[in-house]
A and B are shown apart, each in its own frame.
Chain A
């Protein structure tokens, strides 16, 4: 994805680390940028669990707090 200028970037908090992505980046595209397999992930944006079916249609909001969760072993 090409970035035309600095002003087109927005800041995000993803699991407590700061990231910058082009404005208009969808949640699906964010996962691709972060190299995270979307198949086994749950995504929370600003406290809301976002259904996987909507990730392609929802753009990251500026300064959004995004949390990514995965499955781990457990009893």
Chain B
């Protein structure tokens, strides 16, 4: 296999499948799935501790698994809150990387582009490595790149929907224009969709719900790893041109003539029988 590392900011990754840690039935299943996925970058969220129940320590097992942590700002409703959450995450997880996500609408969880751009600018100025989760908006992705984001994370579909890639035309524009890695996030529900995203030229995909909500998450994680790698290899190999007309792959003229066909009528003579043709 050819050398094919993904570089974001100062970090290089062998795997182009990033994974989330949410929605798993248990911490063990989550850890086993992440290991099976081969993922080297995993997302985490931040939450106020319940002093009565304490907090699950899922950080240390992930650190022990040698994966890089990508804290998100989920729950932030505007730029100010997002910057605050990023600062909390930096203290907590000892990383200046942040998945910037601001989605105040609880129904569709659509990211707020205005607040996201504002927060991205502030966070980049504060030295964060910012990976913003955004709608598949080529203009916004370019603006985010201009303010210093290390990558962009346009959505394929609504978060957690497993609905597949619904933003194809716009993702293609983003991929074509981007000078930073493009990580397709949210909505990818099947391994074939991860492969498709990679075939389109995405630099990576982020998958959570599709793995966590599978009946067999560890096996599904492995499937996504294979599909992501397969899609990437196909992209590198170069996909064939798409045409509307058929383009024959076998010769259309193989030199048949009536004299050749009629040589042995015992084999094909029945085709000339009107009874056989229903006439």
List residues of chain A with CB under 8 Å of any chain B CB: 14-15, 17, 34-37, 39-44, 49, 51-52, 67-75
A75 touches B23 (CB 8 A): yes
CB neighbours of B272 from chain A (8 A) = none
Closest 5 A-B residue pairs measured CB to CB? A74-B45, A75-B20, A75-B208, A70-B55, A42-B88
Main secondary structure of the interface of B (DSSP, over half): mixed
Cross-chain pair count, CB within 8 angstroms: 104
CB neighbours of A37 from chain B (8 A) = 57
The minimal Cβ–Cβ distance linking B96 to chain A, given in whole angstroms, is 13
Main secondary structure of the interface of A (DSSP, over half): strand
| Complex interface bits, B43-66 against A, C-beta within 8 A gives 1, otherwise 0 | 111111111001111111000000
Q: Considering only CB atoms, which chain B residue lies closest to A17 in the complex?
A: B51
CB neighbours of A40 from chain B (8 A) = 55, 57, 59-60, 92-93
Question: How many residues on the B side are at the interface (Cβ–Cβ under 8 A)?
Answer: 39
| Complex interface bits, B197-231 against A, C-beta within 8 A gives 1, otherwise 0 | 00000000010110000000000000000000000
A36 touches B23 (CB 8 A): no
Given A40-B59, A42-B92, are A73 and B48 also a contact pair (CB < 8 Å)?
no
B91 touches A51 (CB 8 A): yes
Q: Considering only CB atoms, which chain A residue lies closest to B91 in the complex?
A: A42
Task: Point out which of A14, A35, A75 has the most chain B C-beta atoms below 10 A from its C-beta.
Answer: A75
B21 touches A75 (CB 8 A): yes
Task: Point out which of B22, B43, B55 has the most chain A C-beta atoms below 10 A from its C-beta.
Answer: B55
| Complex interface bits, B150-162 against A, C-beta within 8 A gives 1, otherwise 0 | 0000000001100
CA distance A51 to B74 in the complex (A): 22
List residues of chain B with CB under 8 Å of any chain A CB: 20-24, 27, 30, 43-51, 54-60, 69, 71-72, 74, 84, 87-89, 91-93, 159-160, 206, 208-209
From A15, A39, A51, A52, give the contact of B49 (CB < 8 A).
A15
From A14, A39, A44, A74, give the contact of B21 (CB < 8 A).
A74
CA distance A43 to B90 in the complex (A): 11
CB neighbours of A36 from chain B (8 A) = 49, 51, 54-55
CB neighbours of B208 from chain A (8 A) = 75
Question: A69-B88, A70-B48, A74-B22 given. 16 additional CB < 8 A pairs?
Answer: A15-B49, A15-B51, A40-B55, A40-B57, A42-B89, A49-B84, A49-B87, A68-B51, A69-B46, A71-B69, A72-B58, A73-B22, A73-B44, A73-B58, A74-B43, A75-B159
B91 touches A70 (CB 8 A): no
A71 touches B46 (CB 8 A): yes
CB neighbours of B72 from chain A (8 A) = 74-75
Task: Point out which of B44, B47, B92, B206 has the most chain A C-beta atoms below 10 A from its C-beta.
Answer: B92
- Sample of 24 A–B contacts (CB below 8 Å): A15-B49, A17-B51, A40-B57, A40-B93, A42-B92, A51-B91, A68-B51, A69-B46, A69-B47, A69-B88, A70-B47, A70-B55, A71-B45, A71-B46, A71-B47, A71-B55, A72-B55, A73-B20, A73-B30, A74-B20, A74-B21, A74-B74, A75-B23, A75-B74
